Structure 1
Amino acid sequence: MSTVLFVVTGARSWTLSDGTSHPTGYWAEELLTPYRLLTDAGHDVVFATPGGVAPVADEGSLAADEDARDALAAIEGLQAPRRLDDIDLAAFDAVFYPGGHGPMEDLASDPTSGALLAEALETDKPLALVCHGLAALLAARREDGSLTAEGRKVAAFTDEEERQGGLADKAPWLLESTLRAQGVRVEAAEPWADHLVEDGALVSGQNPQSSASVARALLSRLGA
């Protein structure tokens, strides 16, 4: 069986364009659903965050699932993740990034995460990201400053979904349009549709509704 690295945001808030802080974290479904599918298939999951801080779930993601809080609390290693600085990518068979608005705050500019993603993309390591988790691609750059993911096809949380979610007008930047402006080929579906995009070893999903599809595509790359 394989070992999958889950890189999770350590942010607890997202700084909006007016300077206020919006409470956030990771989105529960985007972590819990892939975790269950991967571990049920016999794979091991290791968690890492910037600085090794214990991640928190966005309260909004817990409201619709009464059991999610207890399920997350029971996941071994989630409350004591490894430091991202201590991770050797060679020790893992695949990498997964869940979303939530948290990655917009920290992983979008985290150099350690960026270097890990650049290595995964350049070596065709199976890599899966979902929703706002794709913000982390903005920290993965070549020596000339261009994105390592430039020219690659992805699905990501769309500007329209951000508008419908009510935060677009306050967002300091929007994920879809920012990725497009830097050369990433975002393939968008209707808001809130289960939408998966596969580009070689790179797998991505548009929103929480896509979490299971992303996890199954990653499983297929792990041979399970």
Structure 2
Amino acid sequence: MKKILMVLTSVSEIEETGEKTGYNVAEAAHPWKVFKDSGHFVDFASIKGGQPPQDTVDKDDPIQVAFTQDETTRAGLYNTARIDVVDPEQYDGVYLVGGHGTMWDFPDNEGLQKLVGSIYDSGGLVGAVCHGPAGLVNVELKNGLRLVEGRTVAAFTNDEEVAVGKEKIVPFLLQDKLVEQGATHEAAENFEEKVVVDERLVTGQNPASAGGVAKEMEKLFAEAIHQEKAAEQHDSEDLRAAHDAKKSSSHKKREGH
């Protein structure tokens, strides 16, 4: 069973404005359902640990309602692990949930950078949606390159930031920052679904893209499982062939004797 870590912001207010924020519930709930329906185990972590702040729940969205009412999920969110004590070796993938707060506590967090880099370096998947790709900023891999360098990504766009009136409030424009770090940014129209897959990095533009990011991650997991099974089958056949050859050789020796 594949194990996935969902990472959430610990920021509850947008600086200077006092406006309440937290992790975007839709961006957590829809991927959670995809992962859960695929039989994967989902853990939660946040930058500071404990109970992360939650943005508004859309009561008309049954998936968000199910997410907030699921007992296992509620228990996991009640006391999340602090990101810098999480063991990356425990996870096959990490998914960075968006919400405006991530713009303040994701980019400069060394624990998050190390975790994302370690999971990718070990062959795991990295997914992020909307403002979640702020957690990809400054992530370096073992080869010395930034994770996003030379890659194609999607994230909350400059135009979308203007549309929600926060272009002058956020510490930087995420689209611009990713491009500065060497990424190619692809965008759909404002608030339309857009998911980009680049090797084992899967990114989405906005809340409408969250479920799509998880589905693409699932496709990659399925491919990896298929490859693992094929390798196991090949090893089993080799072992059987070696066993048969040894048996045949032993039989011939007995006949010669």
TM-score, normalised to structure 1's length? 0.89
Partner of 1:42: 39
Distance 1:137 1:52 in 2: 19
Matched position secondary structure for 2:136: helix
| Per-residue Cα deviation, 1:178-198 (whole angstroms, up to 9, x for no partner) | 111221211111111111100
Q: Is the 8 A contact 1:4 1:94 kept in 2?
A: yes
Task: Mark the CA change 1:44 to 1:142 in structure 2 (over 3 Å): closer, same or farther.
Answer: closer
Cα distance change of structure 1 residues 103 and 54 upon mapping to structure 2, 3 Å threshold: same
SS across alignment from 1:77: helix
Give the letter aligned to residue 95 of structure 2: F
Partner Cα distance (1:20, 1:145) in 2: 38
What is aligned with 1:86? 85
Any conservation in 1 of the 2:92–2:119 contact (CA below 8 Å)? no
Q: Aligned partner of 1:198: which letter?
A: V
Matches of 1:162 and 1:171 in 2, distance apart?
9
CA–CA distance in structure 2, aligned partners of residues 113 and 65 of structure 1: 33
Residue 134 (structure 2) aligns with? 135
Report the RMSD for the aligned CA atoms in angstroms.
2.2
Moved over 4 A (4+): 142-146
Would you say the 8 A contact 2:113–2:139 is kept in 1?
Answer: yes
Residues 113, 139 of structure 1: 8 Å contact kept: no
**Structure 2 counterpart of 1:55, one-letter code:** P
Higher RCO (CA 8 Å, separation ≥ 6 residues): 1
Letter in 1 for 2:20: P
Q: Counterparts of 1:61-76 in structure 2 under 5 Å?
A: 62-63=57-58, 65=60, 68=64, 71-74=67-70, 75=73, 76=75
User: Structure 1's 36 and 105: CA in aligned 2 closer, same or farther, altered over 3 A?
Assistant: same
2:216 is paired with a residue whose SS is: helix
For residues 33-74 of structure 1, the C-alpha deviation after alignment (integer angstroms, 9 at most, x for no partner) is 100111122111011112312112213xx2564663673253
Partner of 2:96: 97
Flag structure 1 segments of 5+ consecutive residues without an equivalent: none
Query: Pairwise mapping of residues 110-189 of structure 1 onto structure 2 (< 5 A)?
Result: 110-141=109-140, 147-189=146-188
Instruction: For residues 69-124 of structure 1, give each alpha carbon's deviation from its aligned partner in whole angstroms, at most 9, with x where no partner exists.
Output: 67325324112111212211111111111101111111111110011122233333
- Stretch deviating more after TM superposition (119-128 or 33-42): 119-128
Change (3 A) 1:69 1:10: farther
TM-score (norm 2): 0.78
Asked if structure 1 preserves the Cα contact closer than 8 Å seen for 2:10 and 2:46, the reply is yes
Question: Structure 2: any 5+ residue segments left out of the alignment?
Answer: 226-257
**What's the secondary structure of 1:48's corresponding residue?**
strand
Report the number of matched residues: 219
SS across alignment from 2:48: helix
Which one of 29, 38, 41 corresponds to residue 32 of structure 1? 29
Tell me what 1:11 maps to.
Answer: 11
Higher helix share: 2
Distance 1:165 1:35, change over 3 A: same
Q: 1:64 to 1:192 in 2, by over 3 A?
A: farther
Contact 2:24 2:54 in 1 (8 A): yes
Deviation at 1:128, TM superposition (A): 0.7
For the residue of structure 2 that corresponds to 1:148, the secondary structure is coil
Structure number with greater Rg is: 2
CA contact (8 A) 2:32 2:67 kept: no
Q: 1:124 to 1:190 in 2, by over 3 A?
A: farther
Distance 1:96 1:172 in 2: 22
Q: Using the alignment, how far apart are the partners of 2:138 and 2:95 within structure 1? A: 16
